[in-house]
Structure formats: C-alpha cells, structure tokens
C-alpha cells in the first residue's frame, strides 16, 4: 500500500461497517456501500471482534465455456501485503471457489482477510489458521469442473439480484459482524470526517437517551 492508503486504513480501523455506511449514505452512494449476503465464517461464525480493512485485490471467476482465456498464473501468488482478497464467481455456483491452501498462502503474503462472493471450503482449516473469511456459504467441491479464473485486479460485480454493486481494485473493503462494505477509493477522504462526526454525535445521544431524553429530542440536539 502507498502511504496515503496506509493512513486511510488506520483511520478506517476506528469505525464499524455501520459507521462507514452512514457516511456513504450521506454522500448518496447507493446502499451505503453494503454488499448483501456476505457474512463472517472464520475465525468464528458471526461472533467475536474480528474486523478487516484494506484495499481490494479482486479475482474474477467465469464459466469454463466463457470465451475469455484462463488467467495464466494462480492469483494467490500475487496478493499484495495488507490487501483484502475479493473473489467473484457466477451466481448459483454449487462448487467452492476458495479453500484452506489459499488462506495459507494469503497469510504468508500478508493479506488481512478474504471475501468470497460465493462458496468456500475447508472451514475447520480456515478457523485453525484464524484467518478471516466472509462469504455467502460453504461447500466441498473445488471449482475446476465448472469455472476458471479469467482476470485478476479488474472491476467485478456483486453476484446477487438484490444490488448492482461494483468492487474495483484499490477500493476499500471493510468487514465485521455487521457485514461487508465497499468504500470507493475516491470517496474515502470525504467519508472519514463524516464518520467521525456521526460517531461523536451518536455517543452524545446515547448518554442523553440513557438519562431519559427521547430519541427524537436527542436527534434534534446532536445530529
């Protein structure tokens, strides 16, 4: 990561995915950057303090009969340090597109976690590695009979009918118990001050609400 990316990641570590979404909603970014259907599976299933933040390193799987040529090298060997791996595969694919050896290599490369827009496997191995995995679901079969990697570090679309969301290389991915959010790189500088302001206001509201103030009055006073 560049120095500017390092600074942004350090600042983002202070906030939850909900804080990031609140800021993006204020900036009129669709759905507050939320990527639906992706939840924490490792190191625990929707439990614990795990949070990952980093620039996206994207991987695009396509069906074997897609005319695009297969990517010549394995994507896992070129993962940048401090990146969040985002693996995209065609929707409704029954096979897993990511496994334990991928996480072993990712850890050795210094990746901070992986987000799988599809199925992954080797759940126990992932947890033994204490490697953060956010995904749609688990599976057992590898992808080779159905899919191939066509591109690395290209824009990819979230594989769901619910949203039309794009994840681009270098966009920031933030993931915690609440889910996964994408923060477009060009909006980070505008979003961070909004996060700080919102969190400070919410903290003041919480104090007054506990002391008996209504939510409506607290909102008027602090927001």
pLDDT in tens, the chain (223 residues): 777 788 999 999 999 999 999 999 999 999 999 999 999 999 999 999 999 999 999 999 999 999 999 999 999 999 999 999 999 999 999 999 999 999 999 999 999 999 999 999 999 999 999 999 999 999 999 999 999 999 999 999 999 988 999 999 999 999 999 999 999 999 999 999 999 998 888 888 899 899 998 999 888 888 8
Assigned domain for 209 exists:
no
**Sign of the Cα pseudo-torsion (117, 121, 127, 129, in order):** negative
pLDDT for res 1: 72
Assigned domain for 208 exists:
no
pLDDT for res 161: 85
**What span, in angstroms and rounded, lies between the C-alpha atoms of 66 and 102?**
24
Assigned domain for 207 exists:
no
- Containing 114, the helix (H) or strand (E) segment is strand 113-120
Assigned domain for 145 exists:
yes
Q: What CATH number did the domain enclosing 35 receive?
A: 3.50.30.40
Render pLDDT for 25-54 as a digit per residue (tens, 0 to 9): 999 999 999 999 999 999 999 999 999 999
pLDDT for res 213: 87
Assigned domain for 26 exists:
yes
Assigned domain for 24 exists:
yes
Residue 136 contacts residue 2 (beta carbons within 8 Å): no
**What span, in angstroms and rounded, lies between the C-alpha atoms of 44 and 67?**
39
pLDDT for res 202: 85
Q: How many domains does the chain have?
A: 1
Closest CA to 185 of 175, 173, 195, 194: 173
Assigned domain for 125 exists:
yes
**Sign of the Cα pseudo-torsion (177, 36, 111, 92, in order):** positive
Domain that holds residue 21: 3-186
- Containing 42, the helix (H) or strand (E) segment is strand 39-42
pLDDT for res 162: 87
Assigned domain for 218 exists:
no
pTM > 0.75:
yes
pLDDT for res 39: 98
């Amino acid at each position: 990561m560049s120095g500017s990316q390092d600074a942004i990641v350090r600042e983002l570590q202070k906030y939850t995915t909900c804080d990031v979404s609140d800021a993006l909603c204020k900036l009129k970014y669709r759905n507050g950057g939320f990527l639906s259907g992706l939840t924490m599976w490792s190191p625990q299933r929707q439990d614990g303090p795990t949070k990952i933040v980093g620039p996206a390193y994207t991987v695009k799987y396509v069906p074997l009969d897609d005319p695009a040529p297969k990517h010549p090298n394995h994507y896992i060997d070129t993962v940048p340090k401090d990146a969040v791996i985002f693996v995209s595969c065609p929707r409704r694919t029954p096979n897993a597109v990511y496994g334990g050896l991928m996480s072993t290599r990712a850890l050795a490369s210094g990746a901070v976690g992986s987000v799988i827009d599809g199925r992954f496997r080797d759940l126990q191995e992932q947890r033994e590695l204490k490697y953060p995995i956010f995904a749609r679901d688990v599976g057992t079969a590898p992808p080779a009979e159905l899919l191939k990697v066509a591109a690395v570090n290209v824009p990819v679309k979230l594989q769901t009918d619910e949203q039309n969301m794009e994840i681009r290389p270098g966009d920031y991915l933030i993931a915690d118990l609440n889910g996964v959010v994408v923060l477009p790189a060009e909006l980070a500088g505008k979003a961070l001050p909004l996060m700080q302001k919102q969190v400070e206001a919410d903290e003041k509201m919480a104090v007054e609400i506990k002391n008996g103030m209504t939510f409506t009055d607290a909102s008027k006073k602090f927001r």
